Structure 1
C-alpha cells in the first residue's frame, strides 16, 4: 500500500498530475509537505531530487532508484521539513522545476504564514527554471502574511475543479498555466 494513501483523494490527484510532469533524467526540487504527496508517483522514475522533506527523502531513497539529496538545516519536527537549509549546498544546485505548496495566493503572489518556511521556499525557487504550485482550491483563498514570490515567477499551478472563477482568472491573466484535476477514486 502506498504510504501516502491516507492523503485526501484531491491531494493525491494533484500529486499524480505533478509527477506526470517529470521525465526520466529530470532534476527536480520537492519543497514542503504538499510536494510529499508526489513520492508514491516518483518511485518508478529515474530523477535527481532535492527535497527539504525528511519523509520524502527517506521514502524515495529506500524505495526508488532516484538520486536523492536532502537540503539539511534545522529540522521542523511537526512536519519533518527543514528550514534554514544549507545555503552553500542549495546555491550549487540547479533544477528543471520546483514543486511547492502554498499558504495562500494574492495579486502580489504566493503567500506563506511561517517566516522560516517562506525563506526556505524562496531559496529553493531560486534554483529552478520552473515553479509548479500544488494547491487544493481551498488553499488558494488562504491567507499568509509573507510573500514567497510574485506570480510572474510561477509557471504552472495544479489544483482541483473547485477553483473560484476569480482565482482562475487571476492566474490566467498572470500567464500561469493552470491544470485542473478530478478527484481520484
Structure 2
C-alpha cells in the first residue's frame, strides 16, 4: 500500500472515529508503527489531522479545548510554575496575562501585589476582582468555551498599552518548530501581548515540551524566560538552554 492509499484510509478512519491510536492504524494498514507515525507527521503538517501523543484526531475536535478542562489538568505542576513566576513580579509592575490555564494559576500568588494586570481572561478578572490588583480587561468578542476575549478589537486594545512583563501560555513548544497553538485566535493574541511587553515569560508544564500543535506561530526567540515544572529531564532542559532559552524549573 503506497502513501496515497494509506493517507485516504487514515483520513477516513480518523473522520469516522474522531481519534485513533498508532497501533490501531498499523494493524489496519498492515504496516509498521514507524511508517504510521511518519504518515501522521505529513498529514498533520498539511493540516489534515491533529497529531496527538499516541495517534491522531480530527482537526475540528482539537480546535477548542474548554478552559475548565485545561485548568483541571496537571494542577500541582501549574501551581508550582505560577508560584515561581509570581516571584518575578514587583509592586508597581504592569503585566499582561493571557487566557492560558497555567497563567490563571498566578492569581492567588499576586492578589496582594500593587500591580496592574491587563488580561483577556475572564477567570483572571473574577479571581482578582476583590484584590490589591488594578484590572484592565481587554475588549472584544467573548469566547464562551475559552472564557476569554479575542478578535481584532482585542488586538487594537493591547496595542495601546505597554507592560513590564507578559505571562503567556502555549499549546505546544518544540526545539525544531518553536511555539504552536490549537487555533489562530490564541496565537494572534499571544503575539500581540509579546510585542507590547519588555519581557515575555512562557508558563508551560513539561508535558507540552517537544509537542507540536496545529499552528506554528512563533520561534523560540519570542520568549525571554520559560518557566516549567521539575519533571523536565536535565538533558532536555540543557537542550533548550543551548537554543538560547532562559529555562527555569
- Is TM (by shorter chain) over 0.5? yes
1:71 corresponds to which residue? 138
Per-residue CA deviations over 1:23-52 (Å, capped at 9, x if unaligned) read: 000111011222111011110001111011
- Counterpart among 97, 102, 105 of residue 37 in structure 1: 105
Specify the alignment match of 1:162 in structure 2.
Answer: 231
Higher share of residues assigned helix: 2
Report the RMSD for the aligned CA atoms in angstroms: 2.0
Aligned residues: 176
Q: Does 1:25 align with 2:92?
A: yes
- Are the aligned partners of 1:7 and 1:37 in contact in 2 as well (CA < 8 Å)? no
Distance across 1 between alignment mates of 2:233 and 2:138? 35
Pairs within 5 Å for 1:84-123:
84=151, 85-106=153-174, 107-123=176-192
TM-score normalised by length of structure 1 = 0.87
The answer to whether the 8 A contact 1:113-1:143 is kept is: no
Q: Which has the higher strand share?
A: 1
Calculate the TM-score normalised by the size of structure 2. 0.66
CA distance in 2 between counterparts of 1:140 and 1:6 reads: 15
Q: Give the secondary structure class of the aligned counterpart of 2:145.
A: coil
Q: CA deviation at 1:157?
A: 0.6
Bigger relative contact order, structure 1 or 2 (CA pairs below 8 A, ≥6 apart): 1
Deviation at 1:153, TM superposition (A): 2.0
3-state SS of 1:160 partner: coil
- Aligned residue for 2:146, secondary structure, equals coil
Which sections of structure 1, spanning at least 5 residues, go unmatched? 181-185
Give the Cα–Cα distance (whole angstroms) in 1 for the partners of residues 234 and 150 of structure 2: 34
Corresponding residue number in structure 1 for 2:128: 60
Q: 1:121 to 1:26 in 2, by over 3 A?
A: same
The CA deviation string for residues 85-144 of structure 1, in whole angstroms up to 9 with x for no partner, is 433321111011111111111223211111111111111111111110111100113321
